Amino acid sequence: MPAKKRGQSASQKAIAFLLILQTMLIGVNAENRLQQGDSPIEVLMWMINQCIPVLKQASSLQEKQKKSLLPKHRRSEDQ
């Protein structure tokens, strides 16, 4: 496997791991909020607001990955 592909794969795995970790921390923080007496609806709304940026990041990474897999002539057509 070429070094560039290996590097991309490792960085993609690292980013995926960090996004998963971020999502898990949101869940832990939500549990803490519930234990502190926040209503489940408030916590759910807070979680949704916290997860939106994570989903945007994941979507952006997926788009970048798709573009990097396209042949060069297709990339120039998309821009």
DSSP string covering 51-74: HHHHHHHHHHHHHHHHHHHS-HHH
Q: Summarize pLDDT for 25-78 with one digit per residue, the tens.
A: 999 999 999 999 999 999 999 999 999 988 888 888 888 878 877 776 555 555
Q: Are 16 and 59 in contact (CB under 8 A)?
A: no
In this structure, what are the phi and psi dihedrals at residue 37, rounded to the nearest 5 degrees? 105, 0
Average of per-residue pLDDT across 4-33: 85
Q: Is the pTM of this model over 0.75?
A: no
